[in-house]
Amino acid sequence: METGEALPVFLLVACVLALAGVLLAISALVNPTRPGRVQQMPYESGMDPIHDTRRRFDVRFHLVAIAFMVFDVELLFLYPWAVALRSPAAAASGSQDLIFAGAMVFLGLLALGFLYDWWKGVFRWR
């Protein structure tokens, strides 16, 4: 790798480190120095911690989190399919239909999972 090719990478790393340093310095300057009762209180997702820390969460909370992760990972898989579908190699070999069919089967299975979650009431918060 030549110096001219690596210069943008080094510049980016230097800018990121400089920005991180500036942000840390600003936060140290504006940070309140006198700790109060509210500042020392533990923070629990925007709610006052009034129960024991070993309190059980409702299973629906975890089901929504898992459903979010599934649909988030779906997007990670769709991007490579879109790139492969547009590649010249796929066009030359005629495999674009196969790639598209595989993506549609994947989306169909995810849609079935979404409908099942909806039918089971995962998205209804009681």
In this predicted model, what pLDDT tens digit does every residue of 50-81 receive, in sequence order?
666 677 777 777 777 887 887 788 888 888 88
Comparison of pLDDT for 14 and 67, the residue scoring more: 14
Task: Look at residue 15 and tell me if it is in a domain.
Answer: no
Phi-psi category of residue 35: left, alpha or beta, with phi > 0 → left and psi -120 to 50 → alpha? beta
Q: For residues 125 and 41, what is the distance between their CA atoms, to the nearest angstrom?
A: 28
Q: Which residues touch 43 (CB under 8 Å, ≥6 apart)? A: 49
Q: Count the neighbouring beta carbons within 10 Å of the beta carbon of residue 107.
A: 14
Query: Total structural domains in the chain?
Result: 1
Contact in structure between 113 and 63 (CB atoms under 8 Å): no
Asked if residue 48 is part of any domain, the answer here is no
Q: Is the whole-model pTM more than 0.95? A: no
Residues 18-37 pLDDT 10s? 999 999 999 999 887 777 77
Domain that holds residue 96: 54-120
